[in-house]
Amino acid sequence: MRNVLLDFALAAALTTGAASAMAQSAIRIGLQEDIGSLDPARSSQVVDRMVLRSLCSSLVDISPDLKFVPMLATSWSVSADGKTWTFKLRQGAKFHDDEPFNAKAVKANLDRARSMPASNRKSELSSIDHVDVVDDSTVNIVLKAPDSALLATLSDRAGMMLAPKTLADDAAVQARPVCSGPYKFVQRVQNDRVVLEKFAGFWDADKYPIQKVTFLPIPDTTVRLANVRSGSLDMLERLSPSDVKSVKRDANLNFLTIDGLGYYGLTFNVAANAPKALRDKRVREAFDLAIDRDAINQVIGGGIFTPANQALPKSGQYYDTAIKSTKRDVAKAKALLKSAGFEKVDVTLSFGNNTVSNQMAQMLQAMLAEAGITLKLRPMDYAAALDAAHRGDFDVLYNGWSGRVDPDGNLHQFVTCKGNLNYGQYCNADVDKLLNDARVKSSVAERKPLYDAANKILADDNPILYLYVQPWPYVLTKKVQGFVPYPDGLIRLRGVSLKG
């Protein structure tokens, strides 16, 4: 168990001469949660993506200014009808088992992600009809209908490539993933660490000076920061907002932050077997009216938890300015409960257990109690909380979404009837039609009215209450050089080095 500092054995090992030399090219990164899965198809946590970005290259990636850039695909084009995407693939790229990367590998990975029962990528890739191998370095992705979100989808887990020879053994993929990224898998100890080492055969290997990467899950933000200050960690992600001021004053640390594309919110279980009260949208609106987002930002967020009122980021082209933020009104919340036939409501709030989420749960509990809503708190290991969410084993779920470049990624899989991340089982045929139609349009002018119409329905139905925008605050020791934060919150180590 990790207390204030990392375990003594690791610290002692780093005192040897050989380990000291290795430490100059080894980076230790503190994570807010333990990973759930290192199988890109199964993964459902942002922390998985932070590790996977170093382990598994995708077909395309994004730049810090959210433009699509080549990765395993060097170029792409689309047919006039928008239904056939042709990708030219990077020649000479290979997997960590030295298997060559080619068009057959792309087809094998996409077919698996689209068809495997446990895949969380099926909804993202549902527009694909089939994948054709043209030649070793060319692949055609043929769609059922145009899909404007396809590039964004392939820049993330759906586009990450595993070695085809390993795909037949699902257990092995989860235990020891063999990918094509700049670092290869060495070890995972659950709730303790994930260790990667540099893959010398990576096509861009000279841009990755770091030789070894150790990701260490430390849910307690105070402990995570203490490890950076002591030198036991080189950097951490998701600094607690309450520590921002002290970190900025610390001459030995660098503080970097960037606005994210996602949100944190409350998902209501509205399935047939869920609490009756939550299936009434008046009760969900009462939740909304009982919550003071500005107070959350000031008390817990330290001014960096910008209040949210929808799934789409204000910085994007699809943000709907017509949706107004809810101001707290306890009397109106009580009246809504009464009109729905409830004097009070008793439900359980499930959440991944860390410092900030505990603070949030307690603050929500206090605010909602004033309106007659009693929350029983159910803190869980983050991976366990998501597993429960997939099973529908919750009343109300507090969780976050890191956000995607395309608006489809923030909406479709969460609120369409068969969306793979529709934990609350919300279903509205009109929302499905609008979001499906938005997928096949190519321009902002065509798509935005569809997203606006869907957001209007969602703001009325409240299947998810959006609380605040996800920020990405990092802390680094002075020896970490070259790190650039991205709006998607993923940790990219290209060009990162350690000084001294």
Q: What is the pLDDT of residues 303-350, one digit of tens each?
A: 889 999 999 998 888 999 999 999 999 999 999 999 999 999 999 999
**Amino acid 7: pLDDT:** 52
Count of domains observed in the chain: 3
Q: Which of 165, 192, 209 is the last residue of a domain?
A: 165
Q: What is the pLDDT of residues 130-156, one digit of tens each?
A: 999 999 999 999 999 999 999 999 999
Q: Which of 115, 138, 165 is the last residue of a domain?
A: 165
For range 76-86, the mean pLDDT: 96
Is residue 45 in some structural domain? no
Task: Specify whether 333 is located in the same domain as 286.
Answer: yes
Those residues whose C-beta lies under 8 Å from the C-beta of residue 446, and which sit 6 or more positions away, are: none
Distance CA 224, CA 217 (A): 9
**Amino acid 234: pLDDT:** 98
Task: Specify whether 333 is located in the same domain as 454.
Answer: yes
Is residue 49 in some structural domain? no
Q: What is the pLDDT of residues 281-297, one digit of tens each?
A: 999 999 999 999 999 99
Task: Specify whether 388 is located in the same domain as 276.
Answer: yes
Task: Specify whether 448 is located in the same domain as 476.
Answer: no
Task: Specify whether 155 is located in the same domain as 291.
Answer: no
Question: Over pLDDT 90: what percentage of the chain?
Answer: 86
For range 194-207, the mean pLDDT: 98
Q: What is the pLDDT of residues 339-350, one digit of tens each?
A: 999 999 999 999
Distance CA 328, CA 291 (A): 6
**Amino acid 75: pLDDT:** 98
Is residue 161 in some structural domain? yes
User: What residues make up the domain containing 79?
Assistant: 56-165
Which tokens in the block code for residue 230?
Answer: 């002591």
Is residue 489 in some structural domain? yes
Answer yes or no: is pLDDT of 8 > 60.
Answer: no
**Amino acid 24: pLDDT:** 61
Is residue 5 in some structural domain? no
CATH code for the domain in which residue 241 is found: 3.40.190.10
Task: Specify whether 307 is located in the same domain as 362.
Answer: yes
Task: Specify whether 315 is located in the same domain as 463.
Answer: yes
Answer yes or no: is pLDDT of 23 > 70.
Answer: no
Q: Quickly list H helices, 408-492.
A: 408-415, 429-440, 444-461
Beta strands at 68-70 and 60-62: parallel, antiparallel or unpaired: antiparallel
Q: Which of 127, 144, 165 is the last residue of a domain?
A: 165
Task: Specify whether 113 is located in the same domain as 235.
Answer: no
For range 462-468, the mean pLDDT: 97
pTM across the whole model: 0.79
**Amino acid 402: pLDDT:** 87
Q: What is the pLDDT of residues 472-500, one digit of tens each?
A: 999 999 999 999 999 999 999 999 999 97
Answer yes or no: is pLDDT of 202 > 80.
Answer: yes
Beta strands at 26-31 and 235-237: parallel, antiparallel or unpaired: parallel
